Structure 1
Amino acid sequence: MLTRSLRRSVAAVFALAFAVAGLAAPAANAAIDHTVTFVNNTGQTIWVGSTVNADGSKVLTNMPTLRSGQSATITIPETAAPGHWRGKFFARTGCTGTSGADFRCAVGDCGVQAARCVTGEQPASLAEFNFDSRDRLAPWYNVSYVNAFSVPVVITPVNAVVPPGSTSCGTAGCPENLLPLCNPAYVKYGAGGQRINCVNPNRDAPTDYSNTIKSRCPKAYAWSKQDTEPGNQTVYQCGDCTGFKVTFNS
């Protein structure tokens, strides 16, 4: 998730780019509650999970369950107090049991509730967002495989208005399934012996895991400090859009 210092530094880069191009920086937009639409193209049922930063962001409690091919849209509660929402979404897979009792998931498990998380998530592919009504460049977003790669994730802005000469509102992530390329030492297997997850052996340093992710999916985080590497494509912003589409692929 984006740190405050990183958000400031990225914002400064965008401001400088506008100045060099002789363009006025975009004015602050009226605060709105953006939407996020989840699309399940995984070929299996997913239970969408969500956890939030420890900054007052509202915990989401009615997350959808999607069969393959289904989609669902939620509204982000970003304009009510505290005026922001910072958190992540992920596909929980291989889930069994009764919600509130013994519901558990093979990937992305976050507690016994099917429609909300009650613990931090177990390693999985993440779609991360920073919605901030006081930041004229927000929302910020990224796809993170820092902890693990479970399913391919793509984030696409909806109804984006891109200023002339700007590189904002890009597509984050990639649709390629990287599980077949995972070092067997990092693979987690399902009940049927299939690969269901690839867990990063060291999220805070480059490894063969992160090198594979970077070479095949440069628009996603592969390790925690990848955003400091020259020319990286890990962080995106879109100051003028109605929301985002998060597609979980197979």
Structure 2
Amino acid sequence: MARLTFFAVIYCVLVLSHSLIPGVKATTFTVVNKCDYVVWPGILSNAGIPTLSTTGFTLQIGETRIITAPTSWGGRFWGRTHCSQDSTGKFSCLTGDCGSGKLECSGNGAAPPATLAEFTLNGFGGLDFFDVSLVDGYNIPMLVSPQGGTGQNCTYTGCVYDLNGSCPSELKVMSTDGRDGVACKSACEAFSQPQYCCSGEYGTPDTCKPSSYSEVFKTACPRAYSYAYDDKTSTFTCANADYTITFCPSPNTSQKSSQEQTTTQAQNTGTTTTTSPLINSTIVYEGGLDDSAASPSTCTHVFGSHAIAGIVGITMAIWWSWQLF
């Protein structure tokens, strides 16, 4: 009888400890197309991480698709544009093409320039780390909005502004008929110079600084990565969140998302939060950034209460079970 009770206690302890670890549940990505054109999203899992149920699909105007990612998944989403299929059945896109020749990217990444949404789920301290990156250039407006998550730096990020029209001529990628800009290269892609690529003698945060070209991206989209070492204002963290990825969001979408997120966090914590807008010439971004929010000390704070409760519970249960013998 004691042995059966012992195993029953151990089983309960395992279930309890699993439920107390942040980030163990599957994460849902809701991908939304608010563009006035079709988008073909691509997905690439990080090395050694299992692929998701799809690696590329069609998203019609106004369409939404929900994708579930397992615990600790990491990878990136992007949008392909101006895609078509030739007479041989080969699928290709003018921007964001992954080179697979098919709708599914099947382990291939986006050819730059492409706007990227990057995720590491259940990382340090049980937190999700995410960003929107223009390091490989830009091709489509994108917004990442956490849903239901918590944390001091758990808020939306992205690039809502359409950079294709204002892209410097030396970085601009033109449509096949030469009439419109369809993407904007990074300076690294355009010039292959180490000072723009943060390589060689410029391969550290101290030696690689923002350029006039990366500042074009940063001014328009202050929360997105504009160059390789743009970490301080461009990395965000959440605990136990799902995410909405929106192509071509309107300014009102970003404001509403931020306001809802701030209200939810204030209700959860019982605190009052004052937001300060981040402004460029076109978009008002609601919600200020906490420069220290992504530090290891903050991660430990978020994780701490769950971990301590789990450890105490496990310790007490094991001690009690041994008393039965």
Q: Place the TM-score, normalised by the shorter chain, in its bin.
A: 0.7 to 0.9
Identify the residue that residue 167 of structure 1 maps to in structure 2.
Answer: 152
Identify the residue that residue 42 of structure 1 maps to in structure 2.
Answer: 35
TM-score for the superposition, normalised by structure 2: 0.60
Which consecutive segments of 4 or more residues in structure 1 shift more than 3 A? Answer: 98-101, 134-137
The alignment of Structure 1 onto Structure 2 pairs a total of residues equal to 208
Distance 1:194 1:117, change over 3 A: farther
Identify the residue that residue 74 of structure 2 maps to in structure 1.
Answer: 86
5+ long unaligned stretches in structure 2 = 1-19, 189-196, 199-207, 250-325
Alignment of 1:213-224 (within 5 A): 213-224=217-228
Quick one: distance in 1 between partners of 2:227 and 2:97?
A: 21
Distance 1:105 1:184, change over 3 A: same
Give deviations 1:90-138, integer Å, cap 9, x for gaps. 0011111169941111111112120334433101000000013x64342
Alignment of 1:108-119 (within 5 A): 108-110=96-98, 111-119=100-108
The two structures, once aligned, show a CA RMSD in angstroms of 2.1
One-letter code aligned to 1:237: T
**Structure with the bigger percentage of helix:** 2
Distance 1:99 1:43, change over 3 A: farther
Give deviations 1:55-84, integer Å, cap 9, x for gaps. x11123524311111111100023xxxxx2
1:209 and 2:199 aligned: no
One-letter code aligned to 1:32: K
Shift of 1:183: 0.7
Identify the residue that residue 192 of structure 2 maps to in structure 1.
Answer: none
Alignment of 1:49-68 (within 5 A): 49-54=42-47, 56-62=48-54, 63-68=56-61
Quick one: distance in 2 between partners of 1:226 and 1:99?
A: 43
Greater radius of gyration (CA): 2
Alignment of 1:68-217 (within 5 A): 68-78=61-71, 84-97=72-85, 101-110=89-98, 111-123=100-112, 124-132=114-122, 135-160=124-149, 162=150, 166-192=151-177, 193-202=179-188, 203-204=197-198, 205=208, 206-217=210-221
The answer to whether the 8 Å contact 2:83/2:93 transfers is: yes
Quick one: distance in 2 between partners of 1:30 and 1:89?
A: 20
The answer to whether the 8 Å contact 2:158/2:221 transfers is: yes
One-letter code aligned to 1:168: N
One-letter code aligned to 2:247: F
The answer to whether the 8 Å contact 2:41/2:78 transfers is: yes
One-letter code aligned to 2:84: T
5+ long unaligned stretches in structure 1 = 1-26, 79-83
**Structure with the bigger percentage of strand:** 1
Identity %: 28
Identify the residue that residue 244 of structure 1 maps to in structure 2.
Answer: 243
